[in-house]
Chain A
Amino acid sequence: MEIVVAVKPVPEAETRLRPDASHASLDPEGVKFVLAGYDESAVEQALLLKESTVGSRVRVLSFGPAPRTEEVLRAAVALGCDSATWVEHPSDLLPDAVLSARCIATAIAGPFSGLVLCGRQSGDEEGGIFAGALGALLKVPSLGYATNLRWKEPRGQLTLQRSIEGGLEEVESSLPLVVGLQQAWNDPRTAKLPNILKSRKAAIEKIPWEATVATLGPHAIPGTVRRTFRLPPPRTGAKMIRYDSPQDAAAQLVRLLREEAKVFP
């Protein structure tokens, strides 16, 4: 099975967010970008499928600027991906999910018959658009919110579950397919030191931005423009309820929720 994983470098969870000078986007200065969240689950799921099917290979792709994109690809190689492709763009370009999908689709190229995995949303802008857009571009079915992918050998069918409103949907599909991953059941693996060292020297295929632009033509611009990046006013800390008894605390809280916060039905 041909398995492709698409990942996006995102700021690590502990990052202190700050707007850049234009106040339109996150200031990347000093931010550590990592492979995180749903993308980690996508890589883990790809590796689990590879280990359970004979002759599978995992190719990881990422669309983004230097140096963060190359770093994230090396992290994926250290985890066990077989090859990596960096679809580069200039650091001043602010792509949206549809443009990212177009660039990744260009790099996948040709009639695609395998499985594409990605996070069901990115760890930064959280749009949840990428899988559907990529599926439409590759002209293959797509679905998000997936977990627990299994390959059923005799008939060549993929089974999976989707964690959606109201419950767990069981789905069966043939390939090709694009899947957006919900979190994995188990904690994703971590890379072993020798593999991290090896990944530093791994060959990474690089597709220069000019080549992507030449392929995409007028589609090589984002369809959305970021205008503002605002931080909410800092939360000043909870109003702590002082109480004589648990019953008193409960009565005070219900009264505050009703009369002050006006959220109690």
Chain B
Amino acid sequence: MVVVAELRDGRLVEPVREAIGVARSIGGAGATVIGVYVGPPASEGVGEFSRAGLDRVVAVEGEPFARTTSSARARTVAELLRELAPRVVLLAGTSEGRDLAGRLAVEWEAGVATNVTAVEPLAPGPIQLTRPIFGGRATQGLELPGERAVLALRPHTFPPAAASADAAPVERRAPTLPQVPVGAPTMTGFTASATGRGPDLAEASIVVSGGRGVKTPENFAIVEALAESLGAAVGASRAVTDAGWRPSSLQVGQTGKSVSPQLYIAIGISGAIQHLVGMVSSRVIVAINSDAQAPIFKVADYGIAGDLFQLVPALTAEVRRVRGR
């Protein structure tokens, strides 16, 4: 099996550890799990990767990779896969991993599935897996009959592999294919998001979202304060981002981001289907809304009806109190 590394700011992202955990659990005791890293030189990140529970690591590092997007790296990854010949390649289901998955499926001629939330232990015959579809409103059981499979796993679904005390051997190779092919898209800049201080919306294990019920852009600060107390990411309904109170990158819903955190807290969000499809697969949903009849309470696990301008600051204070800060 192969797990493809993804680094951000030179550090290994958490969903890659989850992918290594899945490789270990579906492969059984005798399986070899090889880590592949293709990207700019990153001794710290590759070092972390080598201690993340792998048997060995193959790293192809080149400075120009820093400017390219995943489609340029896909050729090098596919070339390594042809040589390493694994049955399954596991990717973190981040934007990077999902962009890569489609290209690898064609360049390495494999079956592909993304958003994977369960995989049966490998056995002779097709690979069996499960994934949410329709924004978590249904679950699909899928079979990959081919000899090769590329799976991108939904972040925060699987337990991460335990780090190993000893580093796996790292084989470093020089790139043999062009790192920036002629005409390839190149990165020219990066702006950290409004949620830059907290965890990212798509990856966070707790999300606190605000909606129209917050009433003004200034009031949205109570949503952000609760998120900060919980170490949560901030989300918003479409009403909030359309009105320009907060950037569209925070929008949760059909035309925004789909999230499935452990805990989703919806504040002043009525629960239009447009919003629900983006968060209904969250494990536990809490709704706080002034209207006790709001549809959000039908999908929530816990509800509080009442004045959110009193309830939310009280909740923030309680969270700070029990967490001792």
Interfacial residues, chain A to chain B (CB-CB below 8 A): 11, 13-14, 17, 24, 26, 36-38, 41, 96-98, 101, 121, 123-137, 140-145, 159, 162-177, 180, 183, 185, 187, 223-232, 235, 237-241, 243, 245-247, 249-251, 253-254, 256-258, 261, 263-265
Q: Please tell me if the beta carbons of A254 and B322 are within 8 angstroms of each other in the complex.
A: yes
Chain B residues within 8 Å of chain A by Cβ, number: 102
Residue of B nearest to A23 (CB): B141
CA distance A211 to B206 in the complex (A): 50
CA distance A162 to B94 in the complex (A): 13
Residue of A nearest to B132 (CB): A126
B144 CB within 8 Å of chain A: yes
CA distance A171 to B143 in the complex (A): 36
Q: Please tell me if the beta carbons of A229 and B99 are within 8 angstroms of each other in the complex.
A: no
Listed A/B pairs (12) with beta-carbon separation below 8 Å: A13-B254, A136-B105, A166-B192, A170-B189, A224-B111, A224-B112, A228-B139, A231-B137, A235-B299, A240-B303, A254-B322, A265-B323
Contacts of A251 in B (CB 8 A): 318
Knowing A125-B133, A133-B105, A168-B249, the reply to whether A254 touches B319 (Cβ < 8 A) is: yes
Most buried by B among A101, A237, A238, A249: A238
Q: Please tell me if the beta carbons of B140 and A228 are within 8 angstroms of each other in the complex.
A: yes
Give chain A nearest CB distance to B85 CB in angstroms: 18
CA distance A26 to B99 in the complex (A): 26
Residue of A nearest to B185 (CB): A173
CA distance A246 to B306 in the complex (A): 9
Q: Please tell me if the beta carbons of A141 and B72 are within 8 angstroms of each other in the complex.
A: yes
Knowing A38-B255, A141-B185, the reply to whether A187 touches B242 (Cβ < 8 A) is: yes
Q: Please tell me if the beta carbons of B190 and A167 are within 8 angstroms of each other in the complex.
A: yes
Q: Please tell me if the beta carbons of A261 and B142 are within 8 angstroms of each other in the complex.
A: no
CA distance A121 to B100 in the complex (A): 14
Q: Please tell me if the beta carbons of B249 and A128 are within 8 angstroms of each other in the complex.
A: no
B96 CB within 8 Å of chain A: yes
Knowing A224-B143, A228-B140, A238-B287, the reply to whether A144 touches B193 (Cβ < 8 A) is: no
* A-B Cβ contacts below 8 A, count: 296
Interface of B: prevailing SS? mixed
The 6 closest A-B pairs by CB, nearest first: A132-B102, A228-B141, A238-B303, A173-B185, A136-B106, A170-B189
Q: Which of A24, A133, A250 contacts B315 (CB 8 A)?
A: A250
Give chain B nearest CB distance to A170 CB in angstroms: 4
B74 CB within 8 Å of chain A: yes
B202 CB within 8 Å of chain A: yes
Residue interface mask B283-325, A partner, CB < 8 A = 1: 1111100001000011111111111001101110111001100
B263 CB within 8 Å of chain A: yes
Q: Please tell me if the beta carbons of B138 and A166 are within 8 angstroms of each other in the complex.
A: no
**Chain B residues numbered 98-144 whose CB sits less than 8 Å from any CB in chain A:** 98-107, 110-115, 126, 128, 133-144
Contacts of B297 in A (CB 8 A): 237-238, 240
Q: Please tell me if the beta carbons of A167 and B286 are within 8 angstroms of each other in the complex.
A: no
Give chain B nearest CB distance to A180 CB in angstroms: 8
Q: Apart from A128-B101, A265-B231, what 4 extra A-B contacts exist at CB < 8 Å?
A: A132-B101, A166-B193, A180-B99, A263-B263
Q: Please tell me if the beta carbons of A123 and B254 are within 8 angstroms of each other in the complex.
A: yes
Knowing A254-B318, A261-B301, the reply to whether A246 touches B310 (Cβ < 8 A) is: yes
Q: Please tell me if the beta carbons of A225 and B142 are within 8 angstroms of each other in the complex.
A: yes
Q: Please tell me if the beta carbons of A238 and B301 are within 8 angstroms of each other in the complex.
A: yes
CA distance A80 to B74 in the complex (A): 35
Q: Please tell me if the beta carbons of B98 and A26 are within 8 angstroms of each other in the complex.
A: no
Contacts of A170 in B (CB 8 A): 187-191
Q: Please tell me if the beta carbons of B184 and A141 are within 8 angstroms of each other in the complex.
A: yes
Q: Which of A145, A163, A238, A246 contacts B99 (CB 8 A)?
A: A145
Contacts of B286 in A (CB 8 A): 253, 257
Most buried by A among B134, B249, B317: B134
CA distance A250 to B185 in the complex (A): 49
Contacts of A96 in B (CB 8 A): 112
CA distance A14 to B205 in the complex (A): 28
Contacts of A231 in B (CB 8 A): 137-139
CA distance A255 to B63 in the complex (A): 51
Q: Please tell me if the beta carbons of B115 and A250 are within 8 angstroms of each other in the complex.
A: no
Q: Please tell me if the beta carbons of A250 and B139 are within 8 angstroms of each other in the complex.
A: no
Q: Which of A38, A126, A174, A257 contacts B183 (CB 8 A)?
A: A174
Residue of B nearest to A158 (CB): B185
Q: Which of A126, A168, A229 contacts B191 (CB 8 A)?
A: A168
Knowing A132-B103, A223-B111, A253-B304, the reply to whether A124 touches B188 (Cβ < 8 A) is: no
Contacts of B189 in A (CB 8 A): 169-170
Q: Please tell me if the beta carbons of B202 and A165 are within 8 angstroms of each other in the complex.
A: yes
Give chain A nearest CB distance to B156 CB in angstroms: 12
Residue of B nearest to A225 (CB): B143
CA distance A131 to B69 in the complex (A): 13
Residue of A nearest to B289 (CB): A238
Q: Please tell me if the beta carbons of A97 and B102 are within 8 angstroms of each other in the complex.
A: yes
Q: Please tell me if the beta carbons of B74 and A132 are within 8 angstroms of each other in the complex.
A: yes
Q: Please tell me if the beta carbons of A169 and B187 are within 8 angstroms of each other in the complex.
A: yes
